Structure 1
Amino acid sequence: MDMKNITLTDIAQELNLSRSTIDRVLNDRGNVAVDTKKRVLRYINELGYKPNRAAKHLAKRTNCSIGVSYYLPNEFALQINRGINTVYEELSNYGLNVLIRAADSPEEQLLQIKEMSEQIDALALAVWEPDLVGDLVNDLIDDGLPVATFNRDLPDSERLFYFGCNYFESGQVCGGIIEKITSKPGKIAIINNHDILGEYRAKGFKSVLSDNFQYDIIGPYEICEEFEVEGSINEKVIEDIQSIIKDNPDLVAIYVANQTLCAAGKAVELLGKQGEIKLVGFDLYEQTVSLIEKDIIQAVVCQEPFNQGYYPIKILFELIAEGKEIEKSKFITRLEIVMKENLRYYHNYDYIK
């Protein structure tokens, strides 16, 4: 038996006892026959098994309310929420409560954080405009509230940790993809938002292609800073991207560093340029899946949105419930390349479809 991964269930099955019986023995809760208790203790001593400290503490039930605040694209937020809901289901019996506040604007996010700050023991947030909320977050931290960031960092604050993507490296990955799938020279357009993360993605992308003289990188074009309504595509955005394509007949690829990838796909499709103009961007949604299957989008880079929802809550809960030390100040998610050829193997695919 692999001691590193041994669980209470494994021990219960080996001894033909219930998991609750093993739990009562390990946590000394009584109501266990003396002979049974001796048998369990003898067996775990022979194994050298050591109960997980966090689980032992959680068994005592520590009430803990964690606030979650974000301003994110709707479909991305759905995947974040899957992670939040999963960790809540796992830990709610041990006292975890989660307050989720999804903002429709950075200004609303500021108000929501203020309103929930008196009701929570810790805060996990994804900030769209650091300058707007930075002072408030620092004040909360100064008042003793544990704060973590996910998806978007506040590196100049005293936050405990960040859980999310390295945006410069994600841009590098996209640059490498386009370099490998684009066979002819020409222009490559960058579309992004006017924010620091868009800049990181653009810089990472350019760093890969800067020495490749067969490509002329144009942009960045700042298109669609507001989030699209779930399930719809802004017609104005499609028209803006079509204009870029029409104005640049030698365009061979578009790198979409924001949430307008599906709009770019529609623009390419409407102009009959699928396959001729390569499209690469970020994140996997229902509409993205369809465009990948039709060979309009060649690849997307995903950033583990489920984990971005799951782990910040779990880490903060273990900090408060047990005093468990946080291992590092940055937890960087994997960058997962999804293409038509591996689409059905991607772990989020069933949920998206």
Structure 2
Amino acid sequence: MSSQEKPTMKTIAEKLGISIGTVDRALKNRGRINENTRRQVLEMADKLGYRPNVLASTLSRSQKAHVVALYPAKNEAFFNEISTGMSAALRELAGYGVTLERMHTVRHSLMSQRQILSQLAERMDRWDALILAAAHPTALNETINAFVDAGKTVITINSDAVGSKRLLFVGQDQFSSGRVAANIMGEFLHGRGKVALFTGFREVWGHEERLNGFIRVTHERYPDMLLVGPYEYQDEEFTMRNLLGEVFNAHPDLAGIYGTTSVALLAAAGFLCERGLQGRVRLVGFDTDDEIAQYIREGVIDASILQDPFSQGYYSLKLLARHLMHGWEPQQPSYFTRMEILLRENAHGNERPNFF
């Protein structure tokens, strides 16, 4: 392809060695497609400067929209993927007047979010919409509602603000993911044993929903599994390790550990290895990075449930742009991203294969 030729779906297909139909499904998010393939297609489209025609029909070049995204900067692997997804969407929206301003808290801090939202309230004329990973399920509703009443659009991502006037939520079905985790733990333990529950923040909606789903299924299907906790580790590895020491001293017969964030997985995996308990105590949680994947391959972590952070970032901005610039209205309150279970058999990392 010369520098003057406009890239097409055929160009992308030839570059990746896949069919045009696969490219079409990836770009339009329809039909069945492997997640790694979908991501490769989106990244190649961005690299080549491909602009799908659908944008021309949904966005007006005469309109402009400044979007603010507020989410934690901690847990780099996860939130970096959200940022990558937003960047991919932003490149697709290039030339259509969409700009993005990212603002961060160190972690899911309600106080820090309130401070930043207060700053945004003082410059209402300088932004149009907000993408928010809410640090509390209800405490920010008054602020969110005030923004919406003032003509701003607010959507939530990763963690919802339940009952607010936000337009929509993009993220994992957290309650269902907790149910899946309980089924995995129950099968590993054959329905018997003592399981300790650990959560990052009791006030974060997503973390609490993961707990609730886990507890519900345990009571429904595994009555001989005894739950202890939950223990809140403030999404800090040091705090998590201290709690683990206390819990094991109180419950030396512990058979399983369930954590609601990657911090719990990493801290617990290290703790189990130090005490020679790897493979004897089952460990189930969420998300991945290179270290977590290695622990899974070694059998220290039994399973991790992924929540597709790339898609959370990508679709939050794309859906928001469609609403702002074309008047699109969501047909449902929540848009759930893909759930994938990472086990020893498929924890091979996200690197692309090279067959040459």
User: Which stretch shows the higher mean deviation, 198-207 or 333-342?
Assistant: 198-207
Show the 5 A alignment for 1:212-227. Answer: 212-222=222-232, 224-225=233-234, 227=235
Q: CA deviation at 1:313?
A: 0.7
Show the 5 A alignment for 1:11-90. Answer: 54-58=55-59, 60=61, 62-71=63-72, 73-75=74-76, 76-90=78-92
What is the aligned partner in structure 2 of residue 28 from structure 1? Answer: none
Does structure 2 conserve the Cα–Cα contact (< 8 Å) formed by 1:242 and 1:268? no
Q: CA deviation at 1:306?
A: 0.7
Q: CA deviation at 1:89?
A: 1.4
- The separation in 1 between residues aligned to 2:165 and 2:191, in whole angstroms, is 48
- The separation in 1 between residues aligned to 2:206 and 2:9, in whole angstroms, is 45
Whichever residue aligns with residue 142 of structure 1, its letter is D
User: Which stretch shows the higher mean deviation, 171-180 or 183-192?
Assistant: 183-192
Per the alignment, do residues 207 and 133 of structure 1 end up closer, same or farther by CA in structure 2, a change over 3 Å counting? closer
Does structure 2 conserve the Cα–Cα contact (< 8 Å) formed by 1:184 and 1:252? no
2:249 to 242, 246, 249: 246
Per the alignment, do residues 323 and 254 of structure 1 end up closer, same or farther by CA in structure 2, a change over 3 Å counting? same
Q: CA deviation at 1:8?
A: 8.6
- Residue 321 of structure 2 is aligned to residue 317 of structure 1: yes
2:95 to 89, 93, 116: 93
Match of 2:351, SS?
A: helix
Per the alignment, do residues 350 and 62 of structure 1 end up closer, same or farther by CA in structure 2, a change over 3 Å counting? farther
Does structure 1 conserve the Cα–Cα contact (< 8 Å) formed by 2:58 and 2:322? no
Match of 1:240, SS?
A: helix
What is the aligned partner in structure 1 of residue 169 from structure 2? Answer: 162
Whichever residue aligns with residue 342 of structure 1, its letter is N
- Residue 106 of structure 2 is aligned to residue 107 of structure 1: no
- The separation in 2 between residues aligned to 1:12 and 1:62, in whole angstroms, is 30
Q: CA deviation at 1:103?
A: 1.3
Match of 2:284, SS?
A: strand
What is the aligned partner in structure 2 of residue 296 from structure 1? Answer: 300
* Percent identity of equivalent pairs: 30
Does structure 2 conserve the Cα–Cα contact (< 8 Å) formed by 1:302 and 1:336? yes
Per the alignment, do residues 53 and 9 of structure 1 end up closer, same or farther by CA in structure 2, a change over 3 Å counting? closer
What is the aligned partner in structure 2 of residue 267 from structure 1? Answer: 271
Per the alignment, do residues 296 and 10 of structure 1 end up closer, same or farther by CA in structure 2, a change over 3 Å counting? closer
- Residue 136 of structure 2 is aligned to residue 137 of structure 1: no
Match of 1:350, SS?
A: coil
What is the aligned partner in structure 2 of residue 36 from structure 1? Answer: none
Per the alignment, do residues 203 and 74 of structure 1 end up closer, same or farther by CA in structure 2, a change over 3 Å counting? closer
- The separation in 2 between residues aligned to 1:201 and 1:115, in whole angstroms, is 31
Whichever residue aligns with residue 60 of structure 1, its letter is R
- Residue 206 of structure 2 is aligned to residue 206 of structure 1: no
What is the aligned partner in structure 2 of residue 190 from structure 1? Answer: 197
Match of 2:88, SS?
A: helix
Does structure 2 conserve the Cα–Cα contact (< 8 Å) formed by 1:127 and 1:133? yes
Match of 1:118, SS?
A: helix
CA-based RMSD:
2.6
Q: CA deviation at 1:59?
A: 6.6
- The separation in 2 between residues aligned to 1:206 and 1:131, in whole angstroms, is 22
Whichever residue aligns with residue 103 of structure 1, its letter is T
TM score, norm. by length of structure 1: 0.77
What is the aligned partner in structure 2 of residue 328 from structure 1? Answer: 332
Does structure 1 conserve the Cα–Cα contact (< 8 Å) formed by 2:61 and 2:95? no
TM score, norm. by length of structure 2: 0.76
- The separation in 2 between residues aligned to 1:12 and 1:83, in whole angstroms, is 22
Per the alignment, do residues 67 and 292 of structure 1 end up closer, same or farther by CA in structure 2, a change over 3 Å counting? same
Match of 2:197, SS?
A: strand
Higher CA-based Rg? 1
- Give the length in aligned residue pairs: 298
- The separation in 1 between residues aligned to 2:258 and 2:168, in whole angstroms, is 30
Q: Which runs of 5+ in 1 are unaligned?
A: 1-6, 14-50
- The separation in 2 between residues aligned to 1:296 and 1:112, in whole angstroms, is 39
